[in-house]
Amino acid sequence: MSGARMHADGLARCPWPGDDPLYVAYHDTEWGVPEYDDRALFEKLILDGFQAGLSWITILRKRDNFRRAFDDFDPARIARYDAAKVQALMNDVGIVRNRAKIDGAIGSAKAWLTIQEEGPGFSKLLWDHVGGAPKVNAFKTTLSVPASTPLSVKISKDLSARGFKFVGPTIVYAFMQAVGMVNDHLVDCHCHDRCGAAKRPARRSAAPARTIAQRQR
């Protein structure tokens, strides 16, 4: 029951997306695909924080609403949210209306900006923990997949110390799975080999690195 599941299209997949078309598309095209963009990583971390206590499909169905409400997850704008904006978010039925999580997103945006301005950059900070490439696991069943690991505990402590909120070890590990820092597609899933072989795009990483280097001179 907890191994890879064959679908009507002839492809074996991890069992968790079931037959929900939105969830299956997310599984096939996003989950576990290495993400190196600083802002996209921020967005996913914030959404994983909002997921706490809920199912990911709930957040996924509201993701477009979240993007609209949170200015496409632009950290510079979120960091400047005032009481009126927070109240507007609390009145927005299209998102998860949780005051602590909204405040947490604002605090995390400020922490993200500090990392971008003072170094090393959010993507580098995260990916350096796994040597810059996905850690490829070989789980055969979902029961074998951990909820957290010593590495997610370490990253959680690092992010918390820098001012990020809702970044406990379990949330961080779910984030690591989603952005491809670890490849936890089951070995029989058709996405396992593809995600494990993904390479870091050179053009997306080069420009931020030069900007940081210039600031340090």
Instruction: Write down all domains in the chain, each with its CATH number in brackets.
Output: 34-216 (1.10.340.30)
pLDDT confidence of residue 152: 98
> How many CA atoms are closer than 13 Å to the CA of 58, on its beta-carbon side?
11
Within 8 A by CB and 6+ apart from 21, the residues are: none
Predicted model pTM: 0.90
| Percentage of the chain lying above the pLDDT 70 cut | 91
pLDDT tens readout for residues 139-159: 999 999 999 999 999 999 999
Q: Output the pLDDT for position 211.
A: 35
185 is in an annotated binding site: yes
- Compute the CA torsion angle 69, 75, 80, 83 (nearest 10 deg): 40
User: Based on the number of CB atoms within 10 Å of its own CB, is 163 exposed (0-12), middle (13-18) or buried (19 or more)?
Assistant: middle
Task: Inform me whether the pLDDT recorded for 165 exceeds 70.
Answer: yes
189 is an annotated ligand-binding site residue: yes
Tell me what pLDDT residue 215 has: 33
Instruction: Find out whether 7 is annotated in a ligand binding site.
Output: no
14 is in an annotated binding site: yes
Confidence of residue 1 (pLDDT cuts 50, 70, 90): low
Query: What does the pLDDT read at residue 66?
Result: 98
